[in-house]
Structure 1
């Protein structure tokens, strides 16, 4: 799977895997931690704001979303500064420190607002880490013909951490596969809950990631030409009549990420509807990522040979029905299948999109250009949980997934008509003619 991959790409991939493991822990742990009563919602849940009653699902969605909101809106700024300074490694390390501090704080917090503040702190950390890491992967690509494969390898390891984190989190919290209830652990005469153990694993993930980057990664040299690039973000194609391809891919990535994140907020309703355990829910959550783990590398490398755009278009074709199905199935195995198919769609979209943006980054700056996609993905992950809670309250169980399917169709239309191919059929130089 990783034969012939630059060792620096592998180091960044392993580092991101460790970091993603810790973050995905929190996606599962925080809703349970808030719902357990250890975080007080007194005076918040049940109150009315602008005619809308705040319910527990909405408050959980806000905690999950705030991370992505701050992360996403901060990325264009940090990505641009990393282009200007060329000190990508320092940005990555700073972000990991901020994330670790936020994770370490959770066991000591009991108020909803303090938990919200800790999640915000972690979001700022991710804003430093993500665009700089992606820019390093792009900078290390020696040619356009290996960029898709590099992003495929990087995303595979990142998603191993993100996908298996929820499963491991369920085991840590409950003490075993399929077990229910929060267990306690005894270490050195001290007793602590499964929640505290899970937060400790998140901190450990950040520490491992920090060590790998600090010891094994160096910044590539920054040329005077790179420092003088136009680092503005374009909406319209400066050489055509339509929208800029990177901007359109950003919009599509946002819509795709939103559909992924609809699931987490509805853990309670989904488990009740399907009559399933916490462990089964965790496996369903991870199915999207498992499909990506299996397919990111072959799809990324195929996009180096065939072209980026066909895979992105195909991904959105598959995404719409996969998301819609999640709102109507009533069997746990059918939900698992729908989530896995959604993962296939995400794999078709994500690595080729990053590679296409990376092809264009040679004239725009890696951090600035690629931050459009990483920002969009983070924003979608942020908006998805909050939108899911709101749509569930306004409509019903199927409403969030029906809206997600509509977003996938819109992304398909935008991509088909507005995204230009950057490679020739044999993986040649950027600049191929637009495809209709």
Structure 2
């Protein structure tokens, strides 16, 4: 159990600057997530002229998720090898800006797919570096709180970005939306460049035999858990048209259901981070996975849109209970060394789950039955719970090392 006194330690102010800077870029990401599926309706395809718009939307979402997941392990290892983080963040933000502008200059679907892949790679380059910087701006006793604050800001930016995207597209058009994304990326870049210093790998002052850099199986277990819970959360996007018919729900009510997950996750992320510092990370991960099993099953049997909203809010709680403790625990297991490469395996799994969730749901739901994907996902969730329970050992020793910048 973590000493409660550690949770009273102050966080490095650079953590707040880094989190706020990321908020602007994630607002841009949320805007693009809303604009791109609508924008591709106006594009034409050279190789498949008759391809349905829903298939186009699925392709661009999957391409972004895969390229994002693919780039993270490479950027994480390179970041650790060079012992640099800030340059990777700057590179990724610059790439995000350039690609956002280029969207307004293409009219072919294949070009949008290519740009989405490039943007996934550049965004992926920033993820391990930023998470490592967050952990460097904290200590063992404040790590969960630090990651919770960062994740809350990120989720808030993404959540309001989708709403901003709808307003901009309605009143100003797609080009204005793409340029706004570039501007938001530039603000993030400027804040990081001017106010956030470089951070470096360090070993915690005190370590136990459990805190070693050779426990690859434990990182694989945490990565698997992160992948599965993201599949369970993203699976719903394949069924939104079906929910609209089954529940006789309006687009507004469905958007509320989708947003309920983001809102509850943003609200709960920091408090759960504090709880993980106080009571331990592994316990909260197991609780989050356990709760998500009946929640995922329930998604296959909702009869009213109000039930869907409640279940999505509970999924926000589940995600907050898993994501923040997983990141904090991964850093503890790494012992403060090779943080970027260790974290990249988990963030990459998270991105892969985002890409695979709608595909798994759509395939099983379309060719087997509506409820089958939810049963499969719940079973995988139970397996991931057992994997974490028996393969992951939480370090018992903590440190009061001061953060370095």
TM interval, short-chain normalised: 0.7 to 0.9
- Provide the rounded CA distance (Å) in 2 between the counterparts of 1:386 and 1:104: 29
CA distance in 1 between counterparts of 2:396 and 2:123 reads 31
1:12 aligned onto 2:15: no
| Stretches of 4+ aligned residues off by more than 6 angstroms | none
What's 1:384 paired with?
357
SS in structure 2 opposite 1:244?
helix
CA distance in 2, matches of 1:157, 1:248: 27
Q: 1:113: Cα distance to partner?
A: 0.9
Q: Is the 8 Å Cα contact of residues 139 and 366 (structure 1) preserved in structure 2?
A: no
Any stretches of 5+ residues in structure 2 without a counterpart?
A: 1-6, 205-211, 401-405
Change (3 A) 1:306 1:222: closer
| Counterpart check, 1:321 vs 2:306 | no
Deviation at 1:171, TM superposition (A): 3.4
- Asked if the contact 1:237/1:245 (under 8 Å) is kept, the reply is no
Unaligned runs of 5+ in 1: 47-53, 174-182, 186-192, 227-235, 430-436
2:44 aligned to 40, 47, 52, which one?
40
SS at match of 1:330: coil
Change (3 A) 1:119 1:31: same
Distance 1:127 1:43 in 2: 28
For the aligned residue pairs, the C-alpha RMSD in angstroms reads 2.8
Aligned to 1:165: 161
Rounded Cα–Cα distance in structure 2 between residues aligned with 1:250 and 1:86: 23
Q: Is the 8 A contact 1:58 1:389 kept in 2?
A: no
Structure 1-normalised TM-score? 0.81
Greater relative contact order, per chain length (Cα 8 Å cut-off, separation 6+):
2
CA gap of 1:111–1:385, structure 2 versus 1, over 3 A, is: farther
Aligned counterparts, 1:179-218, within 5 A = 183-185=170-172, 193=173, 195-218=174-197
Measured in 2, the distance between the counterparts of 1:41 and 1:393 equals 25
Q: CA deviation at 1:214?
A: 0.9
Q: Which residue of 2 aligns with 1:24?
A: 30
Match of 2:264 among 291, 300, 305: 291
CA distance 1:252–1:28, shift in 2 (3 Å): same
Q: Report deviation, 1:297.
A: 1.1
* 2:63 matches 1:57: no
Contact 1:287–1:340 (CA<8 Å) still a contact in 2?
yes
State the alpha-carbon separation in 2 of the partners of residues 398 and 112 from structure 1. 33
Cα distance change on mapping 1:329 and 1:2 into 2, 3 Å: farther
**Offset at residue 279 of structure 1 (A):** 3.4
Instruction: Tell me the number of residue pairs that the alignment of Structure 1 and Structure 2 aligns.
Output: 388
Question: Which segment drifts farther, 107-116 or 93-102?
Answer: 107-116
In 1, distance between residues paired with 2:27 and 2:345? Answer: 23
Give the equivalent residue in structure 2 for 1:417. 390
Measure, in 1, the Cα distance between the counterparts of 2:175 and 2:328.
39
